[in-house]
Structure formats: structure tokens, C-alpha cells
């Protein structure tokens, strides 16, 4: 992680370094990225970079942490709801904001591809595991709120449902990120509906009926 003095940099200089690093890491991954390319794109000196980071891996970890923090801010949580329809409406909004964030950052797809391949025992792998645990805890809390209004099944442990939902979400994200350059606006607009459709079939109470909880009003 960055040395404490990195935080003393002006916000625009921090952003320039992190953007240059994200671009290079998304292109080549941690192992293949050129530190010199990052330095040149950031308009910094090699001495300055080593003043703020111990090594290239520290910079990569900082980029991932910054991406996660921006994602949390952009995606946010769920507004209060009092019934199952409200729960699924908020879930749809959450999926829509997630899709919008992914599509708004040109480096997400490349970084995600390299994060998935990180070894579990590496610092990068441990950071990914930490963020995954936090997301799974958030998902479990969300499902508990859904159970309270009858939107989520209660015949299976919440921890299991959260784990299943995380796995499905990861598979859907990989699918979307692998086709990010091929999806047109109509495809992207349909993604939240598709996500919620599959999520509902997995965690909504009762046997499958072929009908998915409505998530938004149809246009007249």
C-alpha cells in the first residue's frame, strides 16, 4: 500500500498517478506492466514514485483499493423499503448503478481480468479476498432485509444464499466484462433486468413459477 506521504499529494496529482497506473495495469497486469510507462504517463519522476510507493505491487494494490472505494461511492446502498416489491425495485437500482459504474470506467474490465488470476496467497489475492468478504457480508445483510419483507426465501441459511448470489453475480460480471466492447446501448439497458431476473429465481420464496417480481413500471 502507498506510503503515508502519498496522501499529502494534491488530489489532481494523486488522480494522475492512479489513472496512469490503472491504464497500464489494465493493459498488461501487474507482472507485465511497465513502471517507466506509468511514470511517463503520470508526468512524475522515478524518484518521486519510489518516494510514494515501495514498489510496483504497492502501486497496484493502491489502484485496486481506489477502484473499490469509487465503486462503493458510485453504487451506494439501498433506500428503505417496506415490502417485497420495494426490495426488488431497490435491487434493480443497485444493479443499474453497478452496470453504469463498470461502463463508465475504461479500466475496470482489464483490471478485473488480472485480479481474477491473482494467486490466493499473494498480496493482491489477499486484498481481493478481503474485498470479497466485505461484499459477501453486505449481500447477507441485504438478504436479511429482504427476508423481513417476504422477498427472500427463508428455507436456506442466509450465508449460503449470499454465497450463491455472489457466485452468480461474479459469473454475470465476467460475462458482461468479456463482451464490454460488443454490447450496444440496448444490451446494456437490459442488463439490470437480466440480473434481477436471475437473482429472483435463485432467492425469491416459493417454487419457480416463470414469473419474475416486477422491478420497474412499464412505460405507457
Which of 169, 171, 177 is CA-nearest to residue 102?
Answer: 177
- Indicate whether 219 belongs to any domain: no
- Indicate whether 66 belongs to any domain: no
Note whether 21 and 116 are same-domain residues.
no
Residue with cell 497506473: 21
pTM comes to 0.80
Which phi and psi (to 5°) does residue 128 adopt?
-60, -45
HSE (CB half, 13 Å, CA atoms) of 212?
17
**Structural domain that includes position 93:** 76-203
User: pLDDT per residue over 64-120, tens digit each?
Assistant: 999 988 888 888 888 899 999 999 999 999 989 988 888 888 888 888 888 877 767
- How many angstroms separate the CA atoms of 140 and 154, rounded? 12
For residue 7, what is the DSSP state?
Answer: G
Please give the tally of structural domains in the chain. 2
| Residues 22/16, Cβ–Cβ less than 8 Å | no
- Indicate whether 45 belongs to any domain: yes
Note whether 193 and 148 are same-domain residues.
yes
Note whether 82 and 174 are same-domain residues.
yes
Residue 116 grid cell: 481474477
- Indicate whether 23 belongs to any domain: yes
- How many angstroms separate the CA atoms of 90 and 216, rounded? 10
- Indicate whether 63 belongs to any domain: no
Note whether 40 and 143 are same-domain residues.
no
pLDDT score at 215: 52
Domain harbouring 43, CATH code: 1.10.10.60
Note whether 89 and 164 are same-domain residues.
yes
Residue 14 grid cell: 494523486
Note whether 42 and 109 are same-domain residues.
no
In angstroms, what CA-CA distances link 116 with 43, 135, 146, 170? 30, 16, 29, 10
Note whether 85 and 184 are same-domain residues.
yes
Note whether 82 and 117 are same-domain residues.
yes
Note whether 51 and 91 are same-domain residues.
no
User: pLDDT per residue over 31-58, tens digit each?
Assistant: 899 999 999 999 999 898 989 998 899 9
Considering only 3-7, 18-22, 49-53, 79-83, which range has the smallest mean pLDDT? 3-7
Amino acid at each position: 500500500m502507498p506510503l503515508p506521504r502519498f496522501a499529502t499529494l494534491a488530489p489532481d496529482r494523486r488522480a494522475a498517478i492512479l489513472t496512469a497506473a490503472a491504464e497500464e495495469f489494465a493493459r498488461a497486469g501487474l507482472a507485465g506492466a511497465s513502471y517507466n510507462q506509468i511514470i511517463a504517463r503520470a508526468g512524475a519522476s522515478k524518484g518521486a514514485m519510489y518516494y510514494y510507493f515501495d514498489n510496483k505491487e504497492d502501486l497496484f494494490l493502491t489502484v485496486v483499493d481506489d477502484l473499490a472505494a469509487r465503486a462503493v461511492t458510485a453504487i451506494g446502498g439501498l433506500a428503505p423499503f417496506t415490502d417485497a416489491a420495494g426490495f426488488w425495485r431497490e435491487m434493480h437500482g443497485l444493479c443499474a448503478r453497478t452496470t453504469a459504474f463498470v461502463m463508465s470506467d475504461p479500466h475496470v474490465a482489464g483490471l478485473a481480468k488480472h485480479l481474477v488470476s491473482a494467486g490466493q496467497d499473494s498480496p493482491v489475492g489477499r486484498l481481493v479476498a478481503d474485498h470479497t468478504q466485505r461484499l459477501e457480508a453486505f449481500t447477507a445483510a441485504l438478504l436479511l432485509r429482504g427476508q423481513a419483507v417476504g422477498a427472500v426465501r427463508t428455507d436456506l441459511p442466509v450465508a449460503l444464499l449470499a454465497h450463491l448470489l455472489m457466485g452468480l453475480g461474479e459469473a454475470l460480471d465476467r460475462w458482461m466484462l468479456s463482451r464490454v466492447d460488443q454490447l450496444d446501448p440496448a444490451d446494456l439497458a437490459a442488463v439490470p433486468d437480466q440480473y434481477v431476473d436471475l437473482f429472483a429465481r435463485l432467492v425469491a420464496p416459493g417454487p419457480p413459477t416463470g414469473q419474475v417480481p416486477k422491478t420497474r413500471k412499464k412505460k405507457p
